[in-house]
Structures are given as structure tokens and as C-alpha cells.
Amino acid sequence: MSATTDALEHEVGCARAIRARYRAARDRRCKAQENRHFDRIMALLGPRIRHLTRAYGLNGWADDAEQACAIAVHRAIDEYDPSIARFTTFVTWPLRGELKALRNRVRPELRETKASMRYSVVPLDHGEGEFIELVDVSAMTRVEQGAARRLAHTALDRLLSEYERGIMDRLCKDLASADRPGGARPGPGRAAIDEMKGVLCKEREIVARYVFADGKDDKFAENDANFTAEQQRQISRRVLRHLSAKAPAI
């Protein structure tokens, strides 16, 4: 145990005993004696107070910081229990609390962010006045992210459907004009339509994976036997350029 710690324990013990006698007898001499012990305590804690003042960025308010620390030491002397911890350990937290409160008053730009918000939700199948507390404060963020992802999937699905419908309409018109006015015959025309449907289904899969991939490495299917990664990238960019041009009209 260091000499400073022992000296603090002695001065605090004397101050507590004198404070108890003063409260019982209201003797001014006891108050003067207590003040002398308190001055010694503040002198022993001086290096720590100066260190904490610098740590909390309060060098420009050193006098205010010293007064705040004096309040913390007064409170610590009253609440100190020697059986729990040494005073040199116990007093640190009241000092930090007062200096932090002072910093929040004089330097609001250094205030910490607010605590995490808690939410209360009312389920539809419960009666009026019954609430369920949402303990997981990050659940709301995950729900919002999931809803946004669902909306994005729906929007992309609608855009791709319109894109595919336009291609199929043009293909049917081309086949009809190349053959006869009645439309495509069951032979080559039907085969071309079926082949185009397969191509569009594959493109839909490639574009959806490209847009909603979690990472850059997940954008392309490496085991695709029909398209290389570069071909998948080109298909995705071509389709997305078309969708971005047609999106306002859709």
C-alpha cells in the first residue's frame, strides 16, 4: 500500500469522525477541523484531479473542475464504506461523474450520443392496454432493412416482367410478319418462342443475383456451364441499362 493511499485513509477516517461529532453537537471547532482534513484530502487527490481534468478536456475550466471535484469528494466521504474498497478507488467514480457532467454543460459538442431507444409494440390480437416490450433494440433496424429488400425484390421483379413482355411481343410480331398474318406456326415459330422464354428466364436469374448479391464474389455463378462471369456481367449491365431507361414509364 502506498503512502498516499495510507494518508488518504487516515484523513478520510478523521474527517468522517469529526463530521459525525459536528452533526451531533454543531460545534464550529469540529467544522474547522473537518475543513483542515478536507484540504489535506484535496491536496492528496490533486494529481488525480488534474489528470482527470485534462482527460475530460476541461483545462480551460480548471477552477470549475476543481469545485466539481470538491463536491464529488464531499459526497464520497459521506458514502464511503471502508469494508468495500479503499478510498483511493472509491473516489474515482464520483470524480469522473462530476467532471463528465461539467463537460456536458460547458462543452456540448463532446456529449455522447443518446442511449439506444426502446420500442413498445401493440399486437393486433391483444386487447387494449396490453403491450409487449421489444427488448432487442436492433430488431426495428432489421425489420426496416428486410422491408426495403422485399420492396426492392418486388420492384425488380415487376421491371423484369415488363422487360420480358416487351421482348416477347416484339418476337411474336416479327414471327407473324415473317410468316403469315395469322401469327406464328406451331413449328419453328413455337420453338423460337420457347427458346426465348428460356433465355429470358436465365437472364432474370443472372440479373437478380447480380443486384442482390451480398458481396462482389457472389454476383456471378462460377459453375454456370452456359455463361462465364464476364458474360453474366455484360448481361446484367445490358438489362439494367434498359430497365433504368424504361423505369419512369413503367
- 139 and 105 Cβ atoms separated by less than 8 Å: no
Give the pTM: 0.43
Note whether residue 116 is domain-resident.
no
Note whether residue 119 is domain-resident.
no
Note whether residue 120 is domain-resident.
no
Note whether residue 121 is domain-resident.
no
Q: Are residues 82 and 179 in the same domain?
A: no
Q: Are residues 17 and 80 in the same domain?
A: yes
Q: Are residues 67 and 149 in the same domain?
A: no
Give the count of domains, the chain: 2
Q: What is the rounded distance in angstroms from the CA atom of residue 63 to the CA atom of residue 222?
A: 68
- 91 and 45 Cβ atoms separated by less than 8 Å: yes
Longest dimension (CA), the chain: 120
β-strand partners of 134? 119
Note whether residue 130 is domain-resident.
no
Which of 93, 110, 127 is the last residue before a domain boundary? 110
Report pLDDT digits (tens) over 97-115: 999 888 888 877 666 655 5
The position carrying cell 436469374 is 205
Using a CB cutoff of 8 Å and minimum separation of 24, what contacts does 153-156 make?
Answer: 153/208, 153/212, 156/207, 156/208, 156/211, 156/243
Q: Are residues 25 and 70 in the same domain?
A: yes
Beta strand segments in the chain, E:
119-121, 132-134
Q: Are residues 96 and 26 in the same domain?
A: yes
Q: What is the rounded distance in angstroms from the CA atom of residue 36 to the CA atom of residue 28?
A: 13
Residue numbers of the domain that contains 191: 139-246
One pLDDT digit (tens) per residue for the chain, 250 residues: 578 888 888 888 888 888 887 777 776 777 788 888 889 999 999 999 999 998 888 888 889 999 999 999 998 988 888 888 888 888 888 999 999 888 888 877 666 655 555 555 555 555 555 555 555 667 778 888 888 888 888 888 888 888 888 888 888 888 777 765 544 445 556 788 888 888 888 888 888 888 887 777 677 777 776 778 888 888 888 888 888 876 655 4
- 162 and 176 Cβ atoms separated by less than 8 Å: no
SS3 240: helix
Note whether residue 125 is domain-resident.
no
Q: Are residues 106 and 7 in the same domain?
A: yes
Note whether residue 61 is domain-resident.
yes
Note whether residue 102 is domain-resident.
yes
Q: Are residues 99 and 49 in the same domain?
A: yes
Q: Are residues 76 and 168 in the same domain?
A: no
